[in-house]
Amino acid sequence: MAYESASRVFQRLLEIMHRLRAPGGCPWDREQTHASLRPYLLEEAYEVLDAIDRQDDDALCEELGDLLLQVAFHAELADEAGRFRAADVVDGICRKLVHRHPHVFGAASARTPAEVAHNWQRLKEAERPEGASRAVDDLVPRSLPALARAQKVGSKLARRGFDWPDVEAVLAKLDEERAELGEALRSGDTDACHRELGDVLLTLTSLARHLGVSAEVSLRDATSRLLARAAHVEAAARGAGRDVAALDDAERERLWQRSKGEV
Domain positions in the chain are 3-84, 128-213, 217-262
Is 234 within 8 Å of 246 (Cβ atoms)? no
Cβ atoms within 10 Å, residue 238? 11
**Which residue, among 70, 13, 86, has the nearest Cα to 37 in the 3D structure?**
70
Q: Tens of pLDDT along 51-110?
A: 998 899 999 999 999 999 999 999 999 999 999 999 999 999 999 999 999 999 998 888
Q: Tens of pLDDT along 100-153?
A: 999 999 988 888 998 888 888 888 878 877 665 567 767 788 888 899 999 999
d(CA 224, CA 206): 22
Is 187 within 8 Å of 245 (Cβ atoms)? no
CATH class of the 3-84 domain in this structure: mainly alpha
d(CA 25, CA 32): 13
Provide φ and ψ at 84, rounded to 5°: -165, 170
Sign of CA dihedral 79, 81, 82, 84: negative
d(CA 234, CA 62): 32
- Judged by DSSP in three states, 155 sits in helix
Same fold, 3-84 and 128-213: yes
CATH number of 128-213: 1.10.287.1080
Q: How many angstroms from the chain centroid is the CA of residue 47?
A: 11
